[in-house]
Amino acid sequence: MRPLSVGLAGLGTVGGGVVRLLRDNADLIALRAGRPITLTAVSARDRNRDRGVPLAGLRWYDDPVALAADPALDVIVEAIGGSDGPARALVEAAIRAGRPVVTANKAMLALHGAALASAAEANGVPLAFEAAVAGGIPAIKALREGLAANHISRVSGILNGTCNYILSTMRREAEKGAGREFAEVLADAQRLGYAEADPGFDIDGIDAAHKLAILAALAFARPVAFADVHVEGIRRVSALDFTYAAELGYRIKLLGLAARTEAGVSARVHPCMVPLSHPLAQVEGVFNAVVAEGDFVGRVVLEGRGAGGGPTGSAIVADLIDLARGRTTPVFGVACAALSAEPAVPIARRHGAYYLRLMVVDRPGVIADVSACLRDHAISLESMLQRGRSAGEAVPVVLTTHECDEAAMQEAAARIAALDAVVEAPMLIRIEPLT
């Protein structure tokens, strides 16, 4: 049978992983695909750079959009990255030309996925993106195909390896009594290559939010809507918080959480207190995990490496195998016209418990003032932890609440922050039972 001819745009970490995988596992891939999958053309900015992979004999395009017009290609793989620019132009050109597209580009899908899905459907072109979420974990296939018979009530996960590495390291160091702070651990992650020189996309939660927007679209059959995702990062998490979390029976994780409620669909990314008994509490280091909850299947947990050339390349080639076999599905699981118009539920409507850490001047009456702020907003305390005394100096006080409304908790926290005995902004972390 004639080989599937592939054009690849982008020869960085991900693109290089695709080249190596197609070369090293060629026989297995051909067996699974029913025919060989052959890389025949590439596009990248620098022809002379040594990328450590064989590129001899391949047609080379300086302009990635020109790659989409190559009549000898059966499928285009986009591994450039970025929500706009060359990546988006290539994908749009390939769809117009009637060529299937495989992409690892979560930012592009999160911001433009609805328009791209409509264009792909109108042109009868498959748009595959297993590699866009959680690297080598088959999260897209699980939601779109494996769990297709279920009503999904919630999808959650650890969706950024950089953040999970930082938080895992801070926890381990806190348990040793070392108490290393965020900035120091981030610097280590950058030296080890786990964090970018400019880590804002990761540590501010944007990367995880891109992925959650895609997962929510698949889980709830609604248009992808990044603007509806509430996003908070991990910059303010302190070594102190890990010490108290352990005492309270939690681990701190940056989670993406999307759920269908009677009011609509909520989607949020922020640090969470996760019970030690939950599978996500045990996911450490650079690993990712996705948890889906269906009405008939129950809880499904997927864990693995969420980034890197090998895992991401594996997901891209899995999509190529599907295309070689003629296996395709609608981009977000159903036809675009059938996507739900359920409203987005804002974070202000969350109802749950909270962890609140304060740094307060150690003097009489402070706790009474704090309690009054909570009382005035109908928030009741579950526990209070205070360690040590230092008259006239700042000491940490940790409170946990019973379930209350987010809006009330935020108002109470603002009032507490304004107290003259509170010396820094309160640290508020949502407690997520995930049951």
Rg (CA), the chain: 24
Tokens of 421: 């005995």
* H or E stretch at 396: strand 394-401
Q: Are 59 and 83 in contact (CB under 8 A)?
A: no
| 366 closest CA partner among 342, 393, 339 | 393
- The 10 Å Cβ neighbour count of residue 432 is 22
Q: Specify whether 253 is catalytic.
A: no
Q: Any bridge partners for residue 396, and if so which?
A: 359
Q: Are strands 427-431 and 264-275 parallel, antiparallel or unpaired?
A: parallel
Q: Are 335 and 216 in contact (CB under 8 A)?
A: no
Rounded Cα distance between 238 and 167, Å, is: 10
Q: Are 8 and 15 in contact (CB under 8 A)?
A: yes
Rounded Cα distance between 377 and 370, Å, is: 11
Phi-psi region of 301 (alpha: psi -120 to 50; beta: other; left: phi over 0): beta
Alpha helices in 42-178 (DSSP H): 64-68, 85-96, 106-123, 139-141, 161-175
Catalytic residue of the set 106, 141, 211, 253: 211
Tokens of 210: 């891109």
Rounded Cα distance between 222 and 340, Å, is: 5
Buried b (16+ CB within 10 A) or exposed e, 12-35: ebbbbbbbbbbeeeeeebbeebee
Place of tokens 């080989």: 3
Rounded Cα distance between 38 and 313, Å, is: 15
Beta strands in 236-335 (DSSP E): 250-261, 264-275, 287-294, 298-305
Positions marked active-site? 211
